[in-house]
Structure 1
Amino acid sequence: MERKQQSGPNRGERGERRDRRNGPPSNAANDGKPELDTKVVDIARVAKVIKGGRRFAFRALMVVGDNNGKVGLGTGKARSVQDAIKKATERARNNMTSVNLMDHTIAHEVVTKHGGSVVLLRPASPGTGIIAGGGVRAVLQAAGVKDVLTKQLGSSSRLNSTFATLKGLQQLKNINEEARRRGKDVADVQPFWRRSNVRSQQ
């Protein structure tokens, strides 16, 4: 007596069903928004004194950038870490600003202060990399800087040094504006590895 084999979906059909169940690819969830580099710079537990005690929450510091001259910072507070990160990321997106970069680095040296933190940014030759750490490095990477020298002075607060770095990037001018500001020729304010090329073209 022969047993009848039940017909079922073949592997291809099962694969198609599985694909439909999993939904569209992950990049379709961006709703047409450009893909941005998002980094968590700092998570801190904070307390607010209220009548009857203290209320605890989390503060997140996020940096968002397109790795091509646009970067933003944002902070957010919430009862949970996830909600704090979400708020901070949204604010960072809304605060994105354009900065003047020159090829792989910055056009000129700049020193900025935020709170008790002082940050110095200096142009660097190709292959140097980002000589920085913490929030300073995160901001520079998100902005698209490839080579730069940095130095931190004063307070070691990650929050303050991160915002000081963003201030520095916002104060950058293109090389022609910087030359006019100093009252010098463009060749004289160029980074040292570009001066000979600029003079030969003049």
Structure 2
Amino acid sequence: MAKARKEKRTREKESDWQERVVQIRRVTKVVKGGKKLSFRAIVVVGNERGQVGVGVGKAADVIGAVKKGVADGKKHLVEVPLTRANSIPHPATGAGGGAKVMMRPAAPGTGVIAGGAVRTVLELAGVKNILAKQLGSDNPLNNARATVSALDNLRTLQEVADERGIPVENLYG
């Protein structure tokens, strides 16, 4: 009986995670006998409650590449501090390759104002109100990684107060 309950709980935890494929690209490698064809999948994995990760998978078929991308994304999860308005606590920037992403918190009702891979990462992180802009490269992988980098740099008021060794009330002073 307990084993069945445990299996159900693990299945529920697995179903919490959502995955979205950002890009599938056909790639080739030149080898001695000619060209070897494979697929690269960029996948974003998140639970819409403050955890998100970006993964890349390569395989001979699309399904295999997506599975590998999901596994890679779950290995590279970051925690995102969310406010009561389902936004971020402060403005942030992130970089990944040649891409830069700028993000600002927004008031409730604003929605996710972002494009491409940035929008996908923010939605799966559980952010509902935010303003974001891609700067530099338009490569989906670099933009997704830049977004994760920016989300990883976010800190709450409590974390800043603990680092400085002062109460939260004194931060406003």
- TM-score, normalising length from structure 1? 0.71
1:99 aligned residue: 80
Q: Which has the higher contact order (CA 8 A, sep 6+)?
A: 2
Structure 1 residue ranges, 4+ long, deviating more than 6 angstroms after superposition:
none
Find the aligned partners of 2:99 and 2:60 in 1 and give their Cα distance: 28
My pick for the range that moved more, 170-179 or 72-81, is 170-179
**Count of residues in correspondence between the two structures:** 159
In the alignment, structure 1 segments of 5+ residues that lack a partner are 1-27, 189-202
Tell me, in whole angstroms, the C-alpha distance in 1 between the residues paired with 2:87 and 2:20: 20
1:128 to 105, 110, 121: 110
**Alpha-carbon displacement from aligned partner over 1:64-111 (angstroms, at most 9, x marks no partner):** 111101111111001111111111112212322212222210001111
The percent identity for this pair of structures is 44
Letter in structure 1 aligned against 2:109: G
Which residue of structure 2 lines up, in the alignment, with residue 174 of structure 1?
156
Question: Where in structure 2 are the equivalents of 1:176-191 lying within 5 Å?
Answer: 176-178=158-160, 186-187=171-172
SS in 2 for 1:149: strand
Rounded Cα–Cα distance in structure 2 between residues aligned with 1:69 and 1:94: 15
Aligned to 2:71: 90
Q: Which range moves more in the overlay, 135-144 or 170-179?
A: 170-179
Find out whether 1:163 has 2:145 as its counterpart.
Answer: yes
Selected match of 1:55 from 36, 42, 52: 36
- Can you list the C-alpha shifts for 1:115-154, whole angstroms capped at 9, x where unaligned? 1111001100000000012110111011100000011111
In structure 1, the partner of 2:127 is 145
Between Structure 1 and Structure 2, the one with more strand by share is 2
CA RMSD of aligned residues (A): 2.3
- Does 2:44 match 1:67? no
